[in-house]
Chains A and B, each alone.
Chain A
């Protein structure tokens, strides 16, 4: 009988690695985009999210799950002329 290899995560939660603005982050694999933003303390009303070079509209944030290797870019409004 072969034993299944135990998950690497000690908390028994499967994790994935994504990047946010070029920095790697290890997150739970069930996380939605909204969950990702909240987990990073990002004010969700003042940002736009790009996933793998595609704009993700606010309406999709709750449903769309992060997947391994996703590259997120988060943009915010700043002062400017």
Chain B
């Protein structure tokens, strides 16, 4: 069972709530994913349209809500966003994300580390979204983050595990859960991340942008469970040459 801070999760698939064509579809997909933690964002309310009608059904579902600081351009704004999220959702959990660059949404490591320290000192359970940088992940762990969330590839890109080499190092070194976040585009990529030993994966776009998000959510659920089981079972060694699996006795000639 996955444990982050003192909270236990049966499912190792976390999901985002963005980009779904309707709130109804989003809720159905999350249910199909069996996810027990979903991310949400904070935004200035548009008084003419009112708020999204997603909060109440999600709260009623009993799924843990993880607000993010998306939109924050620096540590100060991220800390402010976390305070707002705490006020609305009555949670001290925060997905810390600071990505001022609009084209690639690359997380700013300097601001993220500064914000993480401040938020941890204030008693938040901080899950920072970062580049797959093993050194940074260690530093975030040292300031008290409850998990680290290195990216597989750019947010929403569906490019898969572009950072695999570095994810392996992070997984090897981490003493807090590693949640591979961003860029996972297919269930097989989620399986692969779990086979590497990731503690969980976070998927949003790959589910939300599928023509059948509910079916895709189910596929990701199975994929993550399979990857975890394979990791626990232990993968075989990779060899550069063939290793025979049948006896080589040449019986036809003997």
Co-complex (A, B) = yes
A contact residues vs B (CB 8 Å cutoff) = 20-21, 23, 40-43, 45-50, 55, 57-58, 73-81
Q: Pick from A23, A50, A57, A75: contact of B47, CB below 8 A.
A: A23
Query: Are A74 and B45 neighbours in the complex by a CB distance under 8 Å?
Result: yes
Query: Are B44 and A75 neighbours in the complex by a CB distance under 8 Å?
Result: yes
B contact residues vs A (CB 8 Å cutoff) = 16-20, 23, 26, 39-47, 50-52, 54-56, 65, 67-68, 70, 80, 83-85, 87-89, 155-156, 182, 202, 204-205
Query: Are B26 and A78 neighbours in the complex by a CB distance under 8 Å?
Result: no
**Alpha-carbon distance between A7 and B207 when the two chains are bound, in angstroms:** 59
Known: A47-B88, A48-B88. A79 touches B40 (CB 8 A): yes
B133 to chain A, nearest CB (A): 20
Chain A residues in 8 Å Cβ range of B156: 81
**Alpha-carbon distance between A75 and B46 when the two chains are bound, in angstroms:** 9
Q: Pick from B52, B83, B84, B205: contact of A79, CB below 8 A.
A: B52
| A-B CB contact pairs (8 Å), 7 listed | A46-B56, A48-B85, A76-B43, A78-B54, A81-B39, A81-B68, A81-B204
Secondary structure of the A contact surface, majority rule: strand
Query: Are B18 and A77 neighbours in the complex by a CB distance under 8 Å?
Result: no
Query: Are A78 and B84 neighbours in the complex by a CB distance under 8 Å?
Result: no
Query: Are B19 and A77 neighbours in the complex by a CB distance under 8 Å?
Result: no
Q: Pick from A40, A41, A47, A79: contact of B17, CB below 8 A.
A: A79
Known: A48-B88, A58-B87, A75-B42. A80 touches B47 (CB 8 A): no
**Alpha-carbon distance between A63 and B84 when the two chains are bound, in angstroms:** 20
A39 to chain B, nearest CB (A): 11
B14 to chain A, nearest CB (A): 10
**Alpha-carbon distance between A74 and B50 when the two chains are bound, in angstroms:** 11
12 extra interface residue pairs, beta carbon distance < 8 Å, beyond A45-B55, A46-B51, A75-B88 = A21-B46, A48-B84, A48-B85, A76-B42, A77-B41, A77-B51, A77-B52, A78-B40, A79-B20, A79-B41, A81-B39, A81-B156
